Amino acid sequence: MAKYTLIVNGIEQGVDVDPAMPLLWILRDELNLTGTKYSCGVGVCGACTVLVDGQAFRSCQLTAAFASGKKITTIEGLSDEVTHPVQQAWEELNVPQCGYCQSGQMLAAAALLSKNPKPQDSIIDQVMSQNICRCGTHYRIKKAIHRASEIAAKKG
């Protein structure tokens, strides 16, 4: 066991965990932040995506040592009143079906937009094809990223 200080959604949290325990499970089972989802556990589906210093990472592949001291953003901390442009666009276009993969989708989209505020289809295809959705919200995700880009531009 080892002690780490994690900064999750702006709040410093001390944890005492096995150094090999992935961030996904620290968030879910230690900190009860269950918005970050488990689906494959091996970094291939994207359901557990979180932001670390603004970049999208698969939390099932991160250790506490890596994340320690960096700014971790989970879906619970993406915005205060579900007002991030991505969340607004997701709501406008009613993107989610079951919703389970959507926190990972939204964080991946938020990271994409922060780097590339007006992404072309080809970039969206490339980035968002790394996240799996079984309900089939693919079309709406693509539209919603363009819409989020517009909303963010208006907000300035």
Binding site for another protein (CB under 8 A): 1, 18, 21-22, 24-25, 28-30, 32-42, 44-45, 47, 74-76, 78, 82, 87, 90-91, 94, 96-103, 106, 124-126, 128-129, 131-142
Strand stretches in the chain, DSSP E: 2-8, 11-17, 49-52, 55-58, 71-73
The answer to whether 26 touches 15, Cβ cutoff 8 Å, is yes
Which is it for strands 11-17 and 2-8: parallel, antiparallel or unpaired? antiparallel
Specify the residue, 74 or 149, whose C-beta has the smaller distance to another protein. Answer: 74
Instruction: Report the C-alpha gap between 75 and 105 in whole angstroms.
Output: 10
Shortest Å, Cβ 156 to another protein:
22
Shortest Å, Cβ 118 to another protein:
18
Shortest Å, Cβ 121 to another protein:
9
Specify the residue, 25 or 57, whose C-beta has the smaller distance to another protein. Answer: 25
Specify the residue, 142 or 147, whose C-beta has the smaller distance to another protein. Answer: 142
Specify the residue, 135 or 153, whose C-beta has the smaller distance to another protein. Answer: 135
Shortest Å, Cβ 16 to another protein:
12
Would residue 136 be called left, alpha or beta, if left means φ above 0 and alpha means ψ between -120 and 50 degrees? left
Shortest Å, Cβ 42 to another protein:
6
Specify the residue, 68 or 79, whose C-beta has the smaller distance to another protein. Answer: 79
Instruction: Report the C-alpha gap between 18 and 28 in whole angstroms.
Output: 15
Token output for 11: 């709040």
Q: Per DSSP, what are the bridge partners of residue 49? A: 58
